[in-house]
Amino acid sequence: MKKLSLSLVSIICLASVANAQRNFDSVEYKRTDLGHGIYMLEGSGGNIGLSVGEDGVFLIDDQFAQLTEKLLAAIKEVSDQPVRFVINTHWHGDHVGGNENLANQGAIIMAHDNVRSRMAAPGRRQSPEKALPIMTFSDTNTYHLNGHKIHAFHVHSAHTDGDSIIHFEDVNIIHAGDIMFNQIYPFIDLDSGGSVDGYIAALERLLAISDDETRIIAGHGPMASRSDVKASLKMIQSSKAKVAKLVKQGKTLDEVQAADPLSELHDKWSWAFINGERFTATLYRDLTE
């Protein structure tokens, strides 16, 4: 097995450069109607939640800046109302990239406190002022829009330190953001305050507020159900235990990678961004730092 030559933060930075240079011309939005004026939109990047109605358009995440016009065209197919509100589930560029464009058209951007802090931090990935959330919260927030009671709540140190889960309580629909990578290995961003135990706790929280009829918009992957959350949780807990056993034996990262403790999971869970080697490295780093 190859040695892990790039840290996950390096991979993220390279991915950001690649996204800035990529051609989005071929991207087309796929819309899934969940009823009650709520839709899941799949384009390029994190899956989007969309609520339409008499109060206007409410978006959960907005993908990349280069896709804003296509996103607005997709929204026009179900509503002629303007985008009034956007809530970001966390700070990564494939979820907040359209903020500035939408804010320039009058949308109010909202998120957890740590999303604004990370987007505003000086450095190569600092966001323009206009892209920053102007309404933030520390724990929970509730919105009454388009006939729905929408509860946004923070989950601590999970995918990042600023994750929010968005729950349409009255219609049993949840947007989980990147707390849910459905049917694939998750990216747990340790450099943005994420943690494996926090991620596990967030999935357990997701189970606590869902039932067998709940429809869950995953941050990445297809529409999810409660059984999908259970499968992800079981996989992560099992993976952590396998790597922890080797860590307890004093194994180095190279030795753990050579042992390939997650080998039986790779075919089912690996994908282009997070394969078994990278997920193993995340688990090892979380357990040893």
Is the model's pLDDT at 6 over the cut of 50? no
CA atoms within 13 A on the CB side of 101: 15
Listed residue (83, 44, 65) closest to 220, CA to CA: 44
CB atoms within 10 A of CB 265: 17
Structure tokens at 132: 């920053």
Non-local (6+) Cβ contacts of 234 within 8 A are none
Give the C-alpha separation, 180 to 199, whole Å: 9
Q: Are 179 and 188 in contact (CB under 8 A)?
A: no
SS3 158: coil
pLDDT band at residue 121 using 50, 70 and 90 as cut-offs = very high
Q: What does pLDDT average to over the chain?
A: 93
What is the four-CA torsion angle of 93, 96, 98, 103, rounded to 10 degrees?
-140
User: What local confidence, expressed as pLDDT, does residue 125 receive?
Assistant: 86
Given 3-state DSSP classes, what are the helix, strand and coil percentages for the chain, each rounded to the nearest 5?
A: 40, 25, 35
| Whether the predicted pLDDT of 14 surpasses 70 | no
Q: What are phi and psi of 34, to 5 degrees?
A: -95, 0
Q: Which residue has the tokens 């961003």?
A: 189
Under 8 Å between Cβ of 57 and 84: yes
64 has a pLDDT exceeding 90: yes
Q: Give me the pLDDT at residue 23, please.
A: 76
Q: How far apart are CA 115 and CA 41, in angstroms?
A: 22
> Are residues 207 and 231 in contact, defined by beta-carbon separation less than 8 angstroms?
no
Query: Global pTM?
Result: 0.92
Segment 232-258, tens digit of pLDDT = 999 999 999 999 999 999 999 999 999
Phi, psi for residue 146 in degrees, rounded to 5: 55, 35
Chain segment 125-151, per-residue pLDDT in tens: 899 999 999 999 999 999 999 999 999
